[in-house]
Structure 1
Amino acid sequence: MQPDHLIKKLKDQDSSAFEELYEMYSQSLYGVIYTIVKDGVLAEELLQDTFLKIWNNANTYTSKKGRFFTWILNIARNTAIDAYRSKSYNNKKQNLSADNFVDIIISNEDLNRKTDAIGIEKFVHKLKKKCIKLIDLLYFKGYTQKEAAEVIEIPVGTVKTRLRKCLSDLRELVKE
């Protein structure tokens, strides 16, 4: 099917055109969305939202707006950016689960067998107070390194160096 013919059928709300469009472009759009939100489940949801927007707004597309692929790519990109900037997404980032934290500190399969997400906090509490504070801000509360530096009142470079040392210490505790 020629793209112009496919677009015309899509504008006529032809479901077969929608299915073909999904087959042609879903992987590309998913890749764009995932690159922005970095969450597979959320990217799948946003991909569905994107295709709903394409379906509902097909009549607004004209070749004067550019290529069809560029038009749907912008819809996907804007959908992902809107989600990324949303309050619920930011709250989700700030309330990281212990599972995410375990993935960050674990560097080999042996550690997977020795610790679980629920038990990780007891290891964190064995660290120095400055490490506990830094890890709490960065991984459990979702602060950026810059934000953590402002809270602790130290330079960003010191945050990075301290974090490297703290995570190294934490790895050693988990191995024991």
Structure 2
Amino acid sequence: MTQPDELILEMQQGSEKAFSQLYEMYSRAIYSVIHVILRDDEVTEEVLQDVFIKVWKNANSYSVEKGRFYTWLLNIARNTAIDKTRSKSFKNSNKNLSTDNFVYVIGGHNDLNEKTDAIGIQKFVDKLKPLCIKLLDLLYFKGYTQNETAEALETPLGTIKTRARNCIKDLRKLTLQEV
């Protein structure tokens, strides 16, 4: 997907029509990312709306020089979803977990493939080292914090931070080769 610079500029100038078009372009992919973290359709819809409200209110903080619009949007979505999981109301609503959550945790070795395919980076992730795939799955697709990832992989926090940075750098190189 090419970057819609014209629409972004129009949105930054207050065009609701451009904002609506950007919503149509990105909402499905962003919904998928949020849903992976929250695992609840209703809460995911709510967070999706929060994300796009943040995008509208903070449109002028986006700059092409700092990175791609989709990456900026993805970071807002991921951070908003993680913030939601840390909220008291979300924790209280999930005290009685359904078996679906456990099936997800136990199970699907193909989960990462489905998630990355939903946001269009599957072919790039497949080219990464297995350690990078595991790390990105935990940090970006399952919503683990760096501390939680360090515990899950029984690896020092500093090592996780360095590996994550290197894996993202490798992923960035792969995506730039495609452009």
Q: TM-score range by the shorter chain?
A: 0.5 to 0.7
What one-letter code is carried by the residue in structure 2 that aligns with 1:52?
I
Residues 38 and 81, structure 2, Cα contact 8 Å, conserved in 1:
yes
Pair 102,61 (structure 1): closer, same or farther in 2 beyond 3 Å: closer
Matched residue of 2:94: which SS? helix
CA distance in 1, matches of 2:4, 2:100: 47
Pair 68,13 (structure 1): closer, same or farther in 2 beyond 3 Å: same
State the structure with more CA Rg: 1
Cα displacement (A) at 1:49: 0.4
Pair 57,92 (structure 1): closer, same or farther in 2 beyond 3 Å: same
What one-letter code is carried by the residue in structure 1 that aligns with 2:59?
A
Give the TM-score, by structure 2 length. 0.52
CA distance in 1, matches of 2:63, 2:101: 46
Partner of 1:55: 56
Give the TM-score, by structure 1 length. 0.53
CA distance in 2, matches of 1:29, 1:102: 22
What one-letter code is carried by the residue in structure 2 that aligns with 1:85?
R
How many pairs are equivalent? 102
Give the percent of matched residue pairs that are identical in Structure 1 and Structure 2: 52
Instruction: Give CA-to-partner distance per residue, 1:54-113, whole Å, 9 cap, x none.
Output: 0000000001221011000111111100001111111111145xxx46998xxxxxxxxx
Pair 101,10 (structure 1): closer, same or farther in 2 beyond 3 Å: same
Residues 3 and 69, structure 2, Cα contact 8 Å, conserved in 1:
no
Say yes or no: does 1:21 pair with 2:14: no
RMSD: 2.4
Partner of 1:68: 69
Greater relative contact order (Cα < 8 A, sep 6+): 2
CA distance in 1, matches of 2:4, 2:31: 20
Structure 1: gaps of 5 or more residues = 105-176
